């Protein structure tokens, strides 16, 4: 359990308590003691091994997909990177010398990628795929003293990073909040590399990355999940779907504040994220993906909706009261 993320540990404890099983963990001696009825304890033991297998698998996928990006040719010369999780599944299958791998894409299409011909098949449609190594360089201001692929670094309030993030937040939030509790830099190596690869594609396509820093307000529970899993579309709809069924970002922190929640100690959380805009179309509630030829949807002013996992990177989390 020492390798489990905190949310998985909590998930396991909740599972045990719902079945009236009392779990006691002796970290020093690596012992998990389960007390309860025989059947309930057997269920809890089985669930323990299930979660352990899932954790190891997710760690493996994270490691595998950190160095390579798989993309599909959606139109002549236009390559779209696969989502955060699909990329890991494909890389895992390729390294295990499987002949093909199947997955459900963002349009709910059951696809098959065949490695021998490097093609993706869906019904009668066939598209080319490619695998390329991602530049291993990370931002030069990151703290790389740890070997961990995921860190939340609390910034010093005297640093330029802290002041820049605060100034953008403060420009529309003066008088709305009392104090900044902390500003954290998110260092998710896997997520950042996929975002960087997506940004490179934008630069090749448009001559520039069309990158902006925008806000995304949410609960602290959602923030924890996003740090682990990125802005995936499982969270879509939380902020409505007026301009499309994707993940919403806003130019002004004041607007995103409406989607935060006052939780423990009256604290709220908000992301300041790097977002790839590309070509934006005016959105509507029926859109599950942007119109052909566009990358995002918008209200035409300050709201931008992203549909690809690698289309945004949560650079900072601002915690405030």
Residue 56 shares a structural domain with residue 72: no
Helical (H) or strand (E) element with 266: none
Residue 56 shares a structural domain with residue 97: no
- Residue 50's domain comprises 6-65
Residue 188 shares a structural domain with residue 314: yes
Measured in whole angstroms, the distance separating CA 169 from the mean position of its chain's CA atoms is 22
Q: Judging by DSSP bridges, how do beta strands 100-104 and 110-114 pair with one another?
A: antiparallel
Residue 301 shares a structural domain with residue 223: yes
Residue 313 shares a structural domain with residue 174: yes
Distance CA 257, CA 255 (A): 5
Distance CA 321, CA 83 (A): 34
Distance CA 69, CA 74 (A): 15
- In-domain check, residue 245: yes
Residue 310: closest CA among 230, 216, 215: 230
- In-domain check, residue 143: no
Residue 212 shares a structural domain with residue 126: no
Distance CA 109, CA 253 (A): 36
- In-domain check, residue 141: no
Q: Is the pTM of this model over 0.85?
A: no
pLDDT of residue 60: 58
- In-domain check, residue 109: yes
Residue 15 shares a structural domain with residue 126: no
Structure tokens at 311: 């289309």
Residue 202 shares a structural domain with residue 161: yes
Burial of 193 (0-12, 13-18, 19+ CB in 10 A): buried
pLDDT of residue 308: 86
Structure tokens at 4: 């489990």
pLDDT of residue 138: 83
pLDDT of residue 31: 85
- In-domain check, residue 268: yes
Q: What is the mean pLDDT of residues 55-78?
A: 72
Whether 214 shows a pLDDT value over 80: the answer reads yes
Least trusted range by pLDDT, from 58-72, 98-112, 168-182, 195-209: 58-72
Residue after which a domain boundary falls, among 65, 81, 107:
65
Burial of 58 (0-12, 13-18, 19+ CB in 10 A): middle
Distance CA 54, CA 58 (A): 6
Residue 65: closest CA among 73, 57, 53: 57
- What total number of domains does the chain contain? 3
Per-residue pLDDT tens digits for 121-134: 999 999 999 987 76
CATH number, residue 174? 3.90.228.10
- In-domain check, residue 140: no
Residue 159 shares a structural domain with residue 299: yes
Residue 128 shares a structural domain with residue 260: no
């Amino acid at each position: 359990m020492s390798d489990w993320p905190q949310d998985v540990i909590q998930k396991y404890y909740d599972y045990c308590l719902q079945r009236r099983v009392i779990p006691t963990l002796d970290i020093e001696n690596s012992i998990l003691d389960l007390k309860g009825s025989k059947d309930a304890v057997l269920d809890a033991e089985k669930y323990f091994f299930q979660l352990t297998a899932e954790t190891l698998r997710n760690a493996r996928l994270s490691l595998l997909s950190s160095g390579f990006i798989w993309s599909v040719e959606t139109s002549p010369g236009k390559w779209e990177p696969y989502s955060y999780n699909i990329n890991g599944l494909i890389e895992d299958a390729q390294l295990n010398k499987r002949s093909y791998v199947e997955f459900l894409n963002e349009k709910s299409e059951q696809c098959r990628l065949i490695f021998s011909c490097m093609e993706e098949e869906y019904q009668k449609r066939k598209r080319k795929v490619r695998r390329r190594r991602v530049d291993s360089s990370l931002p030069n201001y990151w703290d790389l003293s740890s070997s961990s692929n995921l860190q939340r670094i609390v910034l010093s309030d005297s640093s330029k990073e802290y002041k820049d993030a605060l100034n953008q937040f403060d420009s529309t939030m003066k008088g709305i909040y009392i104090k900044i509790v902390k500003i954290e830099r998110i260092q998710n190596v896997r997520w950042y590399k996929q975002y960087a690869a997506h940004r490179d594609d934008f630069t090749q396509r448009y001559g520039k990355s069309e990158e902006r820093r925008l806000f995304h307000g949410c609960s602290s529970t959602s923030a924890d999940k996003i740090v682990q899993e990125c802005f995936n579309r499982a969270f879509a709809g939380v902020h409505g779907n007026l301009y499309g069924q994707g993940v919403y970002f806003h130019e002004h922190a004041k607007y995103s504040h409406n989607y935060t929640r006052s939780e423990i100690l009256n604290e709220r959380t908000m992301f300041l994220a790097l977002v790839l805009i590309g070509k934006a179309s005016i959105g509507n509630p029926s859109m599950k993906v942007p119109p052909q030829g566009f990358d995002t949807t918008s209200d035409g002013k300050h709201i931008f909706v992203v549909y690809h996992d690698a289309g945004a990177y949560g650079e900072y989390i601002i915690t405030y009261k």
